[in-house]
Amino acid sequence: MPPVYEPLEDVHIIRETADRIRKDSIWMSTRAGTGHLGPALSLAEILAVLYKGIMRYDPQNPGWPKRDRFILSKGHGCLALYSILSQAGFFERKLLEEFCSKYDTMLPGHPEMKLPGVEANTGSLGHGIALGMGMALAARIDGRDSRVFVVTGDGELQEGSNWEAAMTAAHHRLDNLIVIVDRNKLQLGDFTENISQLEPLADKWKSFGWGVRVVDGHNIEELLSTFKQVPFVCGKPSAVIASTIKGKGLKAAENKIEWHYKVLTRQQYEELKNELSLEELGHE
């Protein structure tokens, strides 16, 4: 069965999708009074481009074997993932009201596979690339042309398991594996370079045997062009280092350490509604 969704090249639609991811993330986190808002806001364009312009999937048949897979290794950024999955049609948008609303919610603070469209439980950092590597290798063994896209946080790269997986993926020449590093340069508590220096990050990935591109993670045209070129090198997995701004789109949160785990108060939300064109889900 062919996928219901076919990739688009309409930059205007993709930009509207990214805007909706931000609005949904702000609204959901304010409603729940919790959530990792800053880490979600830096992902908007990346997810909008992947789900609207690049990936193959069928929201009516989430288990379609030939689908591309997506893993949000930085699971704390799940506000953005929930928004894009709802926009892609994996579930009714009204379900977004349940974010962190009860113990057994379908939309907890880190994604779980009980929600249609979620390929892996994530949140314990450092596992997404290894999971993606396994899926990419399985696709090859099964003779499928499915691709696996993994988004990892830059602070998350301090976990050694990522580099074990990167080395193994290169060894197996998994050019159907694409890792996107959300390089917003911030993590819980400080800037990444003050905690454990990552630079020169592109050179590190190259030395592990990966094809590498460095892009503006908020430039939709550049992201589209870059993802259409994967694999960058035949026989090598691809790494996209996406330079982003943590908290992008919410001025009070941009590049602010404290907004790793901070949300708007209801009063702040009401004050910003007109400026950011925010809408309640039931009043769209």
pLDDT at site 182: 98
CA angle 233, 151, 12 (to 5 degrees): 90
Within a domain: 82 = yes
Residues with Cβ within 8 Å of residue 16, at least 6 apart in sequence: none
Within a domain: 2 = no
Within a domain: 247 = yes
Residue-wise burial string across 78-87, b where 16 or more C-beta atoms lie within 10 A, e elsewhere: bbbbbbbbbb
Model pTM?
A: 0.96
Within a domain: 19 = yes
pLDDT at site 278: 83
Residues with Cβ within 8 Å of residue 81, at least 6 apart in sequence: 43, 47, 72, 111, 118
Neighbours of 203 (CB within 10 A): 10
Within a domain: 113 = yes
Q: Considering only CA atoms, which of 211, 283, 266 is closest in space to residue 26?
A: 266
Could you tell me the residue range of the domain that residue 17 belongs to? 11-283
- Judge contact between 47 and 84, C-beta under 8 A: yes
Q: Which SS3 state, helix, strand or coil, does residue 150 take?
A: strand
Within a domain: 1 = no
Number of domains forming the structure of the chain:
1
pLDDT at site 8: 73
Q: How far is it between the farthest Cα atoms of the chain? A: 54
What are the pLDDT tens digits along the chain (284 aa)?
455 566 777 899 999 999 999 999 999 999 999 999 999 999 999 999 999 999 999 999 999 999 999 999 999 999 999 999 999 999 999 999 999 999 999 999 999 999 999 999 998 999 999 999 999 999 999 999 999 999 999 999 999 999 999 999 999 999 999 999 999 999 999 999 999 999 999 999 999 999 999 999 999 999 999 999 999 999 999 999 999 999 999 999 999 999 999 999 999 999 998 888 887 664 44
pLDDT at site 281: 63
How far is C-alpha 81 from the chain's CA centre?
A: 6
Within a domain: 158 = yes
pLDDT at site 274: 85
Distances (CA, A) of 84 to 52, 93, 117, 173: 9, 10, 10, 30
Q: Do strands 177-183 and 238-243 pair parallel, antiparallel, or not at all (unpaired)?
A: parallel
pLDDT at site 139: 98
Within a domain: 3 = no
pLDDT at site 280: 67
Q: Give the CATH number, domain containing residue 108.
A: 3.40.50.970
